[in-house]
Amino acid sequence: MTEKVKFKWNGKEIEADKGSNLLKAALDNGIEVAHYCYHAGLSVAGVCRMCMVEQDGVPRPFPACNASCGEGIVVRNDTPKIKSSIEATLSFHLLNHPLDCPVCDQAGECGLQDYYMKHGQYDSQMVDKKVHKDKVQDIGRNVMLDAERCILCSRCTRFTEEVTKTHELGILNRGDHAEITVNEKLKNNYAQNLVDICPVGALTSKDFRFKQRVWFLEEVQTTCIGCETGCSVKVSENKNGAFRVKPSYDHEVNGHWMCDDGRNIYKHVSGALRLFGAQENLNGLFVPVDEFKTHQLAKGKTLKFILSTGLTNQEYEKFFEKIKGKSAQVALYVLPNQGEDFDGLLTRGDKNPNLRGARKAFEDAGYDSSQNALDKLLSSVSSNDAIFVVVPEIIYNEDHFNTLISKVEKAGLKIALTHGETLSTLRAFDFLLPIPTFVEKNGDIINFQNKKRALRSGISYGETSKDVSYYAGWVNL
Amino acid sequence: MKDSANYKDYALLSYHHIPGVHNLEIFERAGGYETMKACFDKDPEAIKEEVKQSGLRGRGGAGFSTGVKWGFFTKDRSAIKYLLCNADESEPGTFKDRYLVEKNPHILIEGMIISAWALGTQKGYIYIRGEFYHQAMILEKAIKEAYANGYLGKNILGKGFDFDLYVHRGAGAYICGEETGMISSLEGKKGQPKLKPPFPAIKGYRGLPTMVNNVESLAAIPWIMKFGANAYKQWGTEKSPGTKLFSISGDVNKPGVIEVPLSTTLKEIIEVHCGGVRNGNKLKAVIPGGSSAPIFNAEDSLIVKMDYEDVAAKGSMLGSGAIIVLDETRNMGEVLKWTLEFYHHESCGQCTPCREGTGWMEKILKRKEIGVAKKSDIELLDKTAASMRGQTICALADAAAMPTQGMIKVFRNELEQYVTTVAKK
């Protein structure tokens, strides 16, 4: 148990761990403190000079990010002296900034804009020529660098040094000619975090830039389904679609970061091939069809379900409730491992987002979730069967999934429960029926630590009212 | 060098008149290394106390008491720690350490060995400015001689004390003269100062306790240990005891390095030691402590006493003791422009106020070049300088802001005229 101390920040009493970071304690307690270089997930640089404070009994102002919480200390950053120094420092930050907010993707979530509203000087005294630096630099891994917008807070260089330990970035030159440079292209699988931690528009995502203004986006707090780690993430979306995935702080699972693979999990949600209703395969061409037709064809057939590991606990539960006491066969398709088991940071080789939840639901309902059960189901496929395959939302290994599909070919009626027409292999199915994607349903999944993490629904981009349990209701009609 | 009738031997330059004293043999014949040998019989704590009693103040520029600084250092003799000699003398106008080391490298080595014994450091580095190639070679040779005589290395003089000394050449960055910047550079990183706290005495080179002292401070140690703290205090004032090297440049008849007791008047230094202002010109201004010290007008220059308190009382600082004399022919705008160009070039670029401020100040002063200069630019310059002070990790921002503000205070009219006058082509 760490010792707690109480101190005062601008007169407000704050309780924090003894010796913990003073700036973090203030931020955690809802106090707004301007800062650029400090990031809770990185070492302290103390270079932006925005979080300066005065402390009773200390002769000179100092940055709060390099101080620690002590019992009874009295700290202020609202004195006239500090206020004017923050103003001056902000004007130094903006001195050589290109002020290209109208074309900058950071606009709306930019540290410079935010603090300017509060600490800006408004009257420009700058008539001099600005320092010019390289603007459109592709530094690899979907990251674009605009050195002119950079305020040299060094968060990105510290990230590549301390978190990924890949050391691709550095600061070249001195004084106002200093700029971020890559000694080689970014090569780590966490590069998109650089875009998140950049407090200004210097590092932007190639995937996101010029697509949306951030003030038109809403964030859905959910969980990444890219692998079994289950990082907490925010998906930014609006009625035009989902646009990006960002990590959200979760100290138990992912801390501040997420991997680049996880950044792509939004793409199928509002993709061009999303399903809005049932579709029938007419010689390789999918055309909308009334769901009733599928329903009629399934009548009288033996129903077999192959579930994916990407459903929520609640979906499994409802599904098994629906088929309780009825004669349906159920098996679980588990995604194969992909890449190394664990990359040391977040990404795991096991790509099943809710394998633990699925296994438990199968067990609770008295079904076998093992590979044996799947093999048994597949070997018994006959023309009198209607087989429902829940297509995993993200398939890393298509060949493995193709093998599965090749084994269900003998079935009389082959139905894919899917969010959309995604793979060429889906042409093997007779019908496609829609189910919601991970940002269109509420529920829980269980990650690799056996921790429950929530999926939350935002805007719907397809038919989302029907889930797996709805189709389970077709059994034994 | 004994060409001045007024020249006296004091402490630091007392060997300098001996030809070939850079050779260990001649240095020893003149009494060198005797103090070191005597010191090995003394208690390290007693040496520290003696240095503290002498009131020696750090000669690098800040003027912090060397003895007190040593007091912050860990007393655990077995802990790995370093002694770092700051020979990165880069302040414009300063060339005292260069002169000291060039003529008499052994006095520094002797001082470092005594300091190492007192502090219990096992390794020492002399971080020397990159441009001082010749001096670095002299030091290398002197260190080799000291190793050969058993004054450095393992088990020095059979006392069971190990001390290795290395010369490390910088690459010419002013900021590497700042102690934490120097440590970064020595670690092989970009020369950028580190956040304090922790201070180097607690966590320095490679995260281990490191004592950083200026060449002149370390070179004064043998004399203090030989003659005692009280003898050292015979010179100077209570708060600024001892002698100091001054490097005088600019418009005097005889520029150079002199050693005089602290509290010697600037008038005496200029008129007696340096033979007066060149060509009989009128004195216009003096920068008393290197380019980062605020300037004195002629009036103040003639009454100021060169010690830490009196220079500070008159609004400047003694700094490294680099006296730059300017006569009536000098344009203060040019002086300021040169100063600002220097600090713009040397800012490490880490802290925003300094990175952007140094560049902007230069641009403001040069606005006439793009045809947008106004008289009020001087006001803006003053305000910009003021907002840089005390805002950064190291003192470089202050070093650029102080002379700017000082210059505006003393020569505002001349500067206003300077910025608005466009030179005819």
User: Within 13 Å of residue A39, how many CA atoms lie on the same side as its CB?
Assistant: 24
Q: How far B396 CA sits from the closest chain A CA (Å)?
A: 11
- Beta-bridged to residue A388, according to DSSP, are A305, A415
Q: Which helix (H) or strand (E) holds A124?
A: none
CATH fold of B24-232 reads Rossmann fold (3.40.50)
> Which two tokens mark A367?
């079904």
State residue A9's pLDDT score: 95
What are the residue ranges spanned by the domains of chain B?
A: 24-232, 243-327, 332-420
Question: CB within 8 A of B237, min separation 6: which ones?
Answer: B262, B263, B307, B309
Contact residues on chain A for B195, CB-CB shorter than 8 A: 44-46, 63, 66
Contact residues on chain A for B175, CB-CB shorter than 8 A: 174
Say which of A44, A45, A89 has its CB closest to residue B353: A89
Contact residues on chain B for A174, CB-CB shorter than 8 A: 173, 175, 345-349
- B-proximal residues of A, 308-337, CB under 8 Å: none
User: Is the pLDDT at B3 greater than 80, yes or no?
Assistant: no
State pLDDT tens for residues B356-397.
999 999 999 999 998 899 999 999 999 999 999 999 999 999
Q: Do B393 and A46 touch (CB under 8 A)?
A: yes
Residue B8's pLDDT band, with cuts at 50, 70 and 90, is low
Which CATH architecture group holds A4-90?
Roll (3.10)
Contact residues on chain A for B347, CB-CB shorter than 8 A: 174-176
For the domain with range B243-327, which CATH number is right: 3.40.50.300, 3.40.50.1820, 3.10.20.600, 3.40.50.2000? Answer: 3.10.20.600
Owner of token pair 């680099």: B322
Q: Does A239 touch chain B (CB under 8 A)?
A: no
Q: Do B349 and A48 touch (CB under 8 A)?
A: no
Measured in degrees and rounded to the nearest 5, phi and psi for residue A54 equal: -110, 140
Class at the top of the CATH hierarchy for domain A97-123+130-214: alpha beta
Contact residues on chain B for A131, CB-CB shorter than 8 A: 359
Q: Does A82 touch chain B (CB under 8 A)?
A: no
Stretch A232-239: mean pLDDT: 95
Q: Which parts of A152-234 fold into alpha helices (H)?
A: 155-158, 192-197
Q: Of A425, A348, A345, which is closest to residue A392 (Cα–Cα)?
A: A425
Q: E-strand spans in B95-200?
A: 123-128, 164-169
**Separation CA A319–CA A323 (nearest Å):** 7
Q: Taking CA atoms, what residue in B is nearest to A176?
A: B355
State residue A477's pLDDT score: 56
State pLDDT tens for residues A429-451.
999 999 999 999 999 999 999 99
**Separation CA B206–CA A107 (nearest Å):** 41
Say which of A44, A52, A175 has its CB closest to residue B355: A175
Stretch A55-63: mean pLDDT: 93
**Separation CA A161–CA A247 (nearest Å):** 20
Task: Pick from B184, B343, B352 the residue to mutate for testing the A interface (most A CBs within 10 Å).
Answer: B352
State residue B98's pLDDT score: 95
> Which two tokens mark A237?
């979306």
Q: Does A46 touch chain B (CB under 8 A)?
A: yes
Contact residues on chain A for B391, CB-CB shorter than 8 A: 49, 52, 61, 85, 88-89
Contact residues on chain B for A55, CB-CB shorter than 8 A: none
Q: Do A60 and B345 touch (CB under 8 A)?
A: no
State pLDDT tens for residues B212-271.
999 999 999 999 999 999 999 999 999 999 999 999 999 999 999 999 999 999 999 999
Q: Output DSSP code: residue B125.
A: E
Q: Does A88 touch chain B (CB under 8 A)?
A: yes
Contact residues on chain A for B392, CB-CB shorter than 8 A: 49
State residue B423's pLDDT score: 65
State residue A435's pLDDT score: 93
User: Is the pLDDT at B4 greater than 90, yes or no?
Assistant: no
- Min mean pLDDT across A414-423, A435-444, B274-283, B371-380 is at A414-423
Say which of B195, B357, B363 has its CB closest to residue A46: B195
- Residues A139 and A185 sit within 8 Å (Cβ to Cβ): yes
State pLDDT tens for residues A187-224.
999 999 999 999 999 999 999 999 999 999 999 999 99
Q: How far B348 CA sits from the closest chain A CA (Å)?
A: 5
Number of helices and strands (H, E) in chain A?
11, 22
What are the residue ranges spanned by the domains of chain A?
A: 4-90, 97-123+130-214, 279-472
- Residues A173 and A237 sit within 8 Å (Cβ to Cβ): no
Q: Do A174 and B345 touch (CB under 8 A)?
A: yes
Residue A280's pLDDT band, with cuts at 50, 70 and 90, is very high
Q: Do A92 and B356 touch (CB under 8 A)?
A: yes
ipTM of the complex: 0.90
Q: Do A171 and B359 touch (CB under 8 A)?
A: no
State pLDDT tens for residues A158-189.
999 999 999 999 999 999 999 999 988 999 99
Q: Does A52 touch chain B (CB under 8 A)?
A: yes
- Residues A350 and A228 sit within 8 Å (Cβ to Cβ): yes
Q: Classify residue B140 as exposed, middle or buried by CB count within 10 Å of its CB (0-12, 13-18, 19+).
A: middle
Which CATH architecture group holds A279-472?
3-Layer(aba) Sandwich (3.40)
Q: Taking CA atoms, what residue in A is nearest to B385?
A: A88
Residue A428's pLDDT band, with cuts at 50, 70 and 90, is confident
Q: Do A49 and B390 touch (CB under 8 A)?
A: no
3-class DSSP state of A200: coil
Contact residues on chain B for A170, CB-CB shorter than 8 A: 190
State residue A273's pLDDT score: 86
Q: How far A157 CA sits from the closest chain B CA (Å)?
A: 13
Give Cα A28 to chain centroid, integer Å: 22
What are the angstrom distances between the C-alpha of B327 and each of B208, B246, B250, B288, B408?
48, 19, 8, 14, 18
Q: Do A171 and B349 touch (CB under 8 A)?
A: yes
Q: How far B319 CA sits from the closest chain A CA (Å)?
A: 20
Owner of token pair 């290795």: B164
In this structure, the number of other CB atoms found within 10 A of the CB of residue A395 comes to: 18
Q: Do B197 and A44 touch (CB under 8 A)?
A: no
Q: Do A128 and B349 touch (CB under 8 A)?
A: no
Residue A284's pLDDT band, with cuts at 50, 70 and 90, is confident
Residue A48's pLDDT band, with cuts at 50, 70 and 90, is very high
- Residues B247 and B99 sit within 8 Å (Cβ to Cβ): yes
User: Is the pLDDT at B9 greater than 90, yes or no?
Assistant: no
Q: Do A89 and B360 touch (CB under 8 A)?
A: no
User: Is the pLDDT at B164 greater than 90, yes or no?
Assistant: yes
State residue B425's pLDDT score: 53
State pLDDT tens for residues B93-149.
999 999 999 999 999 999 999 999 999 999 999 999 999 999 999 999 999 999 999
**Separation CA A225–CA A310 (nearest Å):** 7
Q: Do A175 and B346 touch (CB under 8 A)?
A: yes
User: Is the pLDDT at B67 greater than 50, yes or no?
Assistant: yes
Q: Taking CA atoms, what residue in B is nearest to A83?
A: B387
User: What is the per-residue burial (b if ≥16 Cβ within 10 Å, else e) of B16-45?
Assistant: bebeebbbbeebbebebbebbeebbeeebe
Measured in degrees and rounded to the nearest 5, phi and psi for residue A416 equal: -100, 125
Q: Do A174 and B390 touch (CB under 8 A)?
A: no
CATH fold of B332-420 reads de novo design (two linked rop proteins) (1.20.1440)
Give Cα B7 to chain centroid, integer Å: 22
> Which two tokens mark A153?
């807070």
Stretch B23-42: mean pLDDT: 94
